[in-house]
Amino acid sequence: MSQKILSLKAQANTESNELADTIKADIDNSSFELHQYDDILVRKVIECVKILNKGEISVTFKGGYEIKSEL
């Protein structure tokens, strides 16, 4: 691989790690004794929610981690 491609991959990995560290810090500093919906926390942690069909959803977190769940 060329040096430029390796450099871009290293930069992307660094940015992903920084984003993961930021999200982890937000989670660590948050109280999970939520008594109501917290839009700010959700926007910091979740990238996308997809309705796959009438019985299944997919939640993608910042950083690319995806969970599929049946309703």
DSSP state letter for 71: -
Q: Is the pLDDT of residue 1 over 80?
A: no
pLDDT bin (cut points 50, 70, 90) of residue 54 is: very high
pLDDT digits (tens, 9 = 90+) for 5-51: 777 777 777 887 788 788 778 777 776 676 788 888 888 889 999 99
Q: Which domain holds residue 37?
A: 3-70
In the chain, how many domains are there? Answer: 1
Indicate the pTM of the whole model. Answer: 0.52
Question: Which residue did the predictor score with more confidence, 71 or 55?
Answer: 55
